[in-house]
Amino acid sequence: MRAVVQRVNRAEVRVNGSVTGKIEKGILVFLGVGEEDETRDLDYMAEKVANLRIFEDEEGKMNLSVIDVGGQALVVSQFTLYGDCRKGRRPSYSSAARPEKARSMYEKFMDILRRDYGLHVEAGIFQAEMEVDLVNDGPVTLLIDSRKTF
């Protein structure tokens, strides 16, 4: 499982001109599910994302998590995080999970953030063509891979 996590002042996602998810201060998570991902990848990613210390404390050090600051999460499914660009000019997505599995893992990821970490979670629409607007705070952008390939 892969994620791009951005610390944001605000973010929203629209489908066909309608807002499907909108947050204020918090994190925007682009989430990709791999064909080999299992429950352990899901648990690792949810715990990591919820507890990343990427918000500043009173001394200006990145020492607080989205939970600590009472922030929100906007989660957008993005299979292109599994795009392999090493050969040719067209990315291969052969390592991305099939839609049925990816949808299930995406929904479970958000459920874990809500249930286990108490986060307010908004979302895009799985497999929809989406427009995402955000104001990156910092900017702070992190890449996470549950298999720790980077």
Q: Considering the candidates 6, 78, 126, 150, report the single residue annotated as catalytic.
A: 78
Please name the residues in contact with 128: beta carbons below 8 A apart, sequence gap of 6 or more.
15, 20
Residue 41 main-chain phi, psi, to 5 deg:
-65, -40
Q: Is 127 known to be catalytic?
A: no
Q: Considering the candidates 6, 30, 72, 79, report the single residue annotated as catalytic.
A: 79
CA 106 to chain centre: 9
From 50, 27, 53, select the one nearest 109 (Cα to Cα). 50
Q: Is 149 known to be catalytic?
A: no
Kindly list the distances between the CA atom of residue 16 and the CA atoms of 23, 28, 30, in Å, as whole numbers in the listed order: 19, 20, 19
The SS3 assignment for 29 reads: strand
Q: Is 6 known to be catalytic?
A: no
Q: Considering the candidates 80, 109, 126, 127, report the single residue annotated as catalytic.
A: 80
Catalytic residue IDs: 78-80
